[in-house]
Structure 1
Amino acid sequence: MTSADRVGSAPRPSRRGFLGAAVAAAAAVTGGGLLTACSSGTGRAGGKGGVATGSALQNALPAFAASTLVTPDIPGSNGSTPAFLKFPAELKASVAAKPGKGGSYTFFTPLWGSDPGKGSKYFAAMDEALGIKVNWQLQDGVTYQDKLGAVLAGDSIPDLFCVPGWNINGQIPNAISAKAADLGPHLSGDKAKKYPNLAAIPTDAWKMCMFGGKLRGLPMPNRPLGGVVPYYRADVFAEKGWTLPKTADEFLALAKEITSPTAKVWACEDMWWTAQVMFNCVPGTMPGYWKQQDGKLVHLIETDEYVEALSWTQKLYAQGSVHPDSVAGKANDAKTRFTSGQSLIMNDGDVMRGMMNEQAKANPKFRIKPMDFFAHDGGKLELYIGNPAGIFSFLSAKLPAEKIEELLAVADYAAAPFGSKEFVLEKFGVEGVHYNRDASGTPVQTDLGTKEVLSSYEFVASPAATIAWPDQPQAATDFANWMGRMMAFAKKPLFYAMQIQEPSRYASLYTPFDDLQKDVVRNRKKISDVKDAVDNWRKNGGEELRAFYQDILDKSSS
């Protein structure tokens, strides 16, 4: 993953099945393990679960002050993410002075890529700019949870450690509450003004940083939409004259028309995520998977919409429109099948810009666009805003106050917005060494930049999410316009921006439905099997979990 792929976007897990990671992240951010804060927001570490609410939450949050350093080319619409189509001609400084005071620290973060090794000119330049010395403990992102758990179980805690949302489970949440510093005394309210880039992070993202009733995390903000998007090959659609579907039946008909096994072309990859949106299911990316129906909390798996989405996806598989490798569960290669034209529609995450760059020379006509969501019957569409943050960093509770202040100043630098001098150094390195500028002024990485400038400081802290793709302005425009259209139908779900920690006894309650869903859509099991599974879910703790969420809803509403 290069810095060019990461400008203005949160880093994602590698291609080991994005949908699986996204669903895991959803469950994990819910606190699929045993996080700690009680409903009053003043609880201690334990297995009872809960969430910070009320005055305890409001008093802990930093006061928001938006950044006005750079004006976006496409402003947000209906709450959508703004887009930047070019680099500003003149870069501005977003911090007043060198943040560090000569301290030496250990940072423990994931890495999806190759470790640049010792002697990195990029890390040396960042150390110089920050005024500190960082000892990076970069860990393979694929096995990160195991390494993280082992470190947090010990007594020697890194000065700063990153926890992706999909890793917040098991005993890790308890460790966060017990071993991460309370940042409230340094950031709550107007204290955040000392760190203007941190103060510019949206308040909802900070709400996700509450653990054990305290503000402990530094967030990496998400876009309100875009976690999982239905993409299509716009170049092929234009060539063939295909019209985008507006109903579930139209999708099935188009998929059947596109599919030609003899030509090794199939309509799509697995579309289960999009199916849930089409049938107005409760969001699969928010805490609890709950919505209110006739005055009662109802779980995703209990709804008619869930069964209807399964039934539709089953039809899509049955008519042979899903690529055979996807049917076989080989999700990791979906991107390759899509770019090669073997499949023409797929669900994925923040891949649009990266794929456009990858195909620029190999297939100049290649164009990917997001497909508008639609209701299955062409009626009212319901979309739900996603989690406002999904990756977090924490400071060791063993650090004295002056060291916490120094690291918060470093985090303020790391959260510098697009268009700032700090942003360019962090994302691209040193000009003439790690990047050069093209005719438009856009940084282009050198070979050394590709090797050394990897995901690192964005795991410390990140600015508000943007769509900043100056090397792909048309793709940025397409994505920003898509999000603006879709946000007109979006709303906040019941437990929006709550860092909910479910009791440990419910940690695996939903797990059987992962395999059941896969079996049903592939016709290995029947739709009727879902009812039996739901009955078991209710008997084995589902009703208690409903009461748990109802209590949170009652307290947060009051």
Structure 2
Amino acid sequence: MSNHDARLSRRTLLAGAAAIGLAGCSNEGRGGETGGGGTAAGVRPTYQRYTEVKADLPGAEYNIPNAFTRYPANPVQAIQTPPGDGKPIDVLTYTNTPIPPRLEQNSFWQEFNKRVGSPVTVNLTPSVDYTQKFATVVAGDRLSDIFLVGAVPQVPQLLEAKAVDLTPHLSGDNIKKYPFLANLPETAWNPCIFGNRIFGVPIPRGAISSQTLYSRADILAKQGLQGDIKNLDDFFELCKALTDKRNNRFALAGSPTQFVRNMFDIPNNWSENGKTLVSNLEHEAQEDVFEALRKLWSAGYIHPDGFSGQNQDLKVRFGNGSSALVQDTFSAWPSYLQTAVDKEAKIAIIGPPKHDGSGPGRIWLGAPAIGFAAISKKSEARVETLLAYLNFLATPFGTQEYLFRKYGQPGLHHQVVDGSPVLTKKGFSEVQLGLMYTADAPWTIFLPEKPGDAEAEFTAMKQNCPTAVADPVAGMYSETNVRKGPQLTTDITQITNDIIQGRKPVSAWAGAVKKWKSGGGDKIAEEFAQALHQSR
């Protein structure tokens, strides 16, 4: 099961909420991706849950993914007729893994084309370069039949000019012709709706992209430590006990900025104040958060390289045991299993308490989608074929189609180990066609590498996600956020890191927020507030 989108940076497809400043994070779920969020009666697709495959641990009641302890022994054949029409289907999207072998050398791709019923061409770009690639393609009027929408200016105008209005095909009950698109969560469609029209198909995420604090439970247990912290002081004591500088061990792989903000009830990006929106940067507890983070840094509890390097470095530190705590998304769990040096390593989740011990804190709910794919107007005559292809890519866990799409052919691309598919080296190389960044099924918790981990992650999400704080404008669109948001975010992240590491005083925060507001933040708040008003 791929989880590579857990490592997306703010330079990728997502415009990102312009002001989080999450030092040391490595996740996709940072808030408002490029999207619309408009809605009207009869426009939003009717939600129709897929029920043919029964989960071992159903998550719907808690608004979390289903969990499976093994792949169903007799996968359902979900689609009877190949979606293709025999003509080529050209796709533009990104990848977070090495570019796969070309079609001629790629047996998975060849078999995939047979099952689709059309030859599929995928134009893949590394995620960090995708926005630039997308802008170039738009400027040259070379959009593919299906394209993932990049975070470029004037997205509504772009879609109006270049994309098929999918409202007649997907609004209300019309979507039932594409049952696996109808199985995508209702809120995931927010980014795809502009001016009460549907312009794309979302790539759903939601609770799985919420950030949390991972712990190496095996390391804690060896030291006789518990992860059930009740307040900020307990957190400091745990970090102190897990730090041994002489042996190059530091409690935290990176700065736990969001985890500490969760302890102080900082809102998720924005909070509503009447008809206006207020950025969480302005919250009165931010300076208290910085004081706590500065203490963690000055005491040496955060790895000295915690503010530099790549996201993968956090996984390496956690995996080799040099840091027993790391902040990341729930979707990152599989990659932490893969990077664990000690195969007996045990992963657990620590939920945030309120800083003063007055009860449990609340994590931030991940954005409902990480982006969406649109269909080129030049391909409008084939819109039903292309929607059928996207429906094929959204077939859910437990189906034959999902098994093939993620794991390829048995014996060649995957081996069955204890009843579950495990990719071979050839499989990992060949199946990475960016399919999950074109369309995908709702996320499923499936961790066959480690018995008991699917149950552990499900339980942790069940404990933390039902009370998670949502971003009120997740998935909505602000032109200023697209144009100025990335630079504003960079500036805020820099001041955040400077304050935590003691290069600037906590008092510098107020001036930075004032600069953020006048530099575009207030305008972003206005535009998001207007989008929120129009969505109701």
TM-score normalised over the length of structure 2:
0.89
1:106 match? 90
Q: Would you say 1:196 and 2:179 are equivalent positions?
A: yes
SS of residue matched to 1:492: coil
Residue 328 of structure 1 and its aligned partner are, at CA, apart by 4.9
Alpha-carbon contact 1:418-1:468 (below 8 Å) kept: no
Equivalent position amino acid for 2:110 in 1 = A
Question: Quick one: which of 140, 149, 156 aligns to 2:135?
Answer: 149
Equivalent residue, structure 1, for 2:16: none
Match of 1:407 in 2: 386
Cα 1:326/1:72, change in 2 over 3 Å: same
**What does 1:81-120 correspond to in 2, within 5 Å?**
81-111=65-95, 112-119=97-104, 120=106
Identity over the aligned pairs, expressed in percent? 28
CA contact (8 A) 2:6 2:209 kept: no
Displacement of 1:477 in angstroms is 1.0
Q: Deviations over 1:337-386 (max 9, x none)?
A: 11111111011233322332444xx5232112221222211224233422
CA displacement at 1:211 relative to structure 2: 3.8
The residue number in structure 2 matching 1:29 is 32
1:42 counterpart residue number: none
Matches within 5 A, 1:366-377: 366-377=345-356
Offset, 1:319: 1.0
Match of 1:40 in 2: none
In structure 2, what is the equivalent of residue 139 of structure 1?
125
In 2, the alpha carbon distance for the partners of 1:518 and 1:215 equals 39
How many matched pairs?
519
Q: In the alignment, is the contact (CA less than 8 A) between 1:30 and 1:501 conserved in 2?
A: no
Are 1:441 and 2:424 counterparts? no
CA gap of 1:555–1:264, structure 2 versus 1, over 3 A, is: same
Tell me the residue number matched to 1:38: none
Structure 2: segments with no counterpart, 5+ residues: 13-21
Question: What amino acid does structure 2 have at the position aligned with 1:261?
Answer: K
**Most deviating of 539-548 and 266-275:** 539-548
The amino acid across from 2:337 in the alignment is M
User: 2:277·2:525 contact (CA, 8 Å) conserved in 1?
Assistant: yes
Unaligned 5+ runs, structure 1: 36-50, 284-288
In structure 2, do the counterparts of structure 1 residues 366 and 66 end up closer, same or farther at CA, with 3 Å as the change threshold?
same
Change (3 A) 1:83 1:394: same
In 1, the alpha carbon distance for the partners of 2:459 and 2:53 equals: 20
Residue 63 of structure 1: aligned partner:
46
Residue 158 (structure 1) aligns with: 144
Give the TM-score, by structure 1 length.
Answer: 0.86
Instruction: After TM superposition, give the deviation of residue 451 of structure 1 in Å.
Output: 1.9
SS of 1:324's partner is coil
2:103 and 2:109 in contact (8 A); partners too: no
CA–CA separation in structure 2 for the residues paired with 1:491 and 1:523: 30
SS in structure 2 of the partner of residue 282 of structure 1? coil
CA contact (8 A) 2:297 2:500 kept: yes
**1:12 matches 2:6:** yes
Q: Aligned pair 1:356/2:337, yes or no?
A: yes
SS in 2 for 1:494: coil
Counterpart of 1:382 (choices 350, 353, 362) is: 362
For 1:90 and 1:511, locate their aligned partners in 2 and report how far apart those are by CA, in whole Å: 49
Report how far residue 189 of structure 1 moved.
Answer: 1.4
SS at structure 2 position matched to 1:59: coil
TM alignment of 1:342-353, pairs within 5 A = 342-349=322-329, 350-353=331-334
CA 1:488–1:24 in structure 2 vs 1: closer, same or farther (change >3 Å)?
closer
Q: Secondary structure of the residue that 1:267 maps to in structure 2?
A: coil
Q: Given that residues 213 and 328 in structure 2 are in contact (C-alpha distance below 8 angstroms), is that contact kept between their aligned partners in structure 1? A: yes
Tell me the equivalent position of 2:19.
none
In structure 2, how many angstroms separate the alpha carbons of the residues matched to 1:52 and 1:444?
38
> What aligned pairs does 1:106-255 form with structure 2 within 5 A after superposition?
106-111=90-95, 112-119=97-104, 120-163=106-149, 167-170=150-153, 174-211=157-194, 213-244=196-227, 245-255=229-239
CA distance in 2, matches of 1:146, 1:404: 27
Contact 2:215 2:325 in 1 (8 A): yes
Q: Could you say if the C-alpha distance between residues 468 and 258 of structure 1 is closer, same or farther in structure 2, counting changes exceeding 3 Å?
A: closer
Going from structure 1 to structure 2, the CA distance change for 1:305 and 1:329 (only over 3 Å counts) comes to farther
Distance 1:395 1:430, change over 3 A: same
